Structure formats: C-alpha cells, structure tokens
Amino acid sequence: MRVLAVDPGLTRCGVGIVDALGNTKLTLVDHAIIQTNPDLNLELRLLDLEKNLQNLFTKFKPDVIAVERVFSQLNVRTAMSTAQAGGVALLLAAKSNIPVVMHTPSEVKAAVTGSGRADKKQVANMVKKILKLEQIPKPVDVTDALALAICHHWRGGAQTRIELAARKQKRKL
C-alpha cells in the first residue's frame, strides 16, 4: 500500500510518499516540499499548491492520502492558511477518488515515537530510523509528512486496505 502524506502549509507544504511491504517493512518512495510565493494573492497560491499536489498524485499513484488535521494553533492566521492548504489536498483526493485519512499531530507523534508529546527532533530521529535513512530529511515539513505516512501505515493501514478492497468490489459489480 502506498501512502502519500501531506503536512499542509501555504508557504511550505511537506509531502512524503511511503510504501508498506507486508505489515511492518516501510520504504521511502520520495518526498517533496511545495513552496508558494507569499507575494501572490491567496487564490493564486492555492492554485499553485493544487497544481503541484496534482502532479505528485499523478506521478506516484497513492492508494491513500494522509493529511495532518489542524488541531489547534494559537496563531489564527497560521491555522487558517494550514487549513486552506489541507483543504486543497482533500479536494484533490476526492476528485481523484483516493481515500483520505486525517491524523492529529499528537497521534503522529505517538505512533512514531511512542509519546504524543515528543518534540520535532525525536520525531525526526525516529523517521530516520524507521525508514532506514542515512540522514534526516529537510526541511522539517518533509519529516513531518513522512511521520504522518508512517503513522497511517501503522495505525490506519488495515482500515484503508478494507476500504480499497470494498472499492474494487464495487467496480466489479
């Protein structure tokens, strides 16, 4: 199963693609950072994000899209732009008929490190270890997206496989 995970952001949107071989072996397929120009109007930035995400969806053909759920942020402006970027990913997944899952940051931290209160450095070190990477991917938005993909493989993978099988069965009918 292939998970394309999106750590939404309007200035920097992290994307991580991770495959699962069996139930435990995870492999890094690719990662990317999508940046939009802060000098552009909001609608043009969202359009740029949409084009870049669509290219990744087309290139990597994921089985599921995992998006980090905007849980709470003290800065309303940041929360709004994060939610708008996440909405672009959700809309594209729906248009592409790809199942979507959302995980909170604390769920991701708990799945990857064992603690929902882990800091970014702990998460990054575990991503490196789990995916058997030589170095921690940069910037942090990419590491967060890869952690999100790992989380979904470990916490939501079984449910996704059931949903995918049901979709295939419906197509046969």
Is the predicted pLDDT of residue 130 greater than 80, yes or no? yes
Report, as an integer, the average pLDDT of 32-39.
97
Domain boundaries, the chain: 2-172
Query: pTM for this one?
Result: 0.89
Q: What φ, ψ does residue 104 adopt, rounded to 5°?
A: -80, 160
Q: How many other C-beta atoms are found inside a 10 Å radius of the C-beta of residue 137? A: 21
Residue 39: alpha-carbon gap to chain centroid = 26
Query: Mean pLDDT score of the chain, rounded to an integer?
Result: 91
How high is the pLDDT of residue 76?
Answer: 81
141 is catalytic: yes
Task: Assign 26 a pLDDT band (cuts: 50, 70, 90).
Answer: very high
Q: Which of 19, 30, 63, 68 is catalytic?
A: 68
Q: Which of 63, 107, 141, 144 is catalytic?
A: 141
Task: Assign 129 a pLDDT band (cuts: 50, 70, 90).
Answer: very high
Among 71, 130, 69, residue whose Cα is nearest residue 101: 69
Architecture of domain 2-172: 2-Layer Sandwich (3.30)
Among the residue ranges 79-93, 115-129, 144-158, the one predicted with the least confidence is 144-158
Q: Using one digit for the tens of pLDDT, what is the confidence trace for 51-64? A: 999 999 999 999 99
68 is catalytic: yes
18 CB-near residues (< 8 Å, 6+ apart): 2, 3, 5, 26, 27, 28, 29, 131, 146, 149, 150, 153
Q: Using one digit for the tens of pLDDT, what is the confidence trace for 2-12? A: 999 999 999 99
- The two three-digit tokens of residue 144, written as one number: 């967060």
The 10 Å CB-count burial string (b at 16+, else e) for 54-74 is: eebbeebebbbbbbbbbeeee
How high is the pLDDT of residue 71?
Answer: 67
Is the predicted pLDDT of residue 102 greater than 80, yes or no? yes
Task: Assign 170 a pLDDT band (cuts: 50, 70, 90).
Answer: confident
How high is the pLDDT of residue 28?
Answer: 98
How high is the pLDDT of residue 73?
Answer: 61
β-sheet bridge partners, residue 5: 16, 66
Among the residue ranges 15-19, 81-85, 138-142, 152-156, the one predicted with the least confidence is 152-156
How high is the pLDDT of residue 40?
Answer: 97
Q: Which of 7, 63, 107, 144 is catalytic?
A: 7
Is the predicted pLDDT of residue 161 greater than 90, yes or no? no
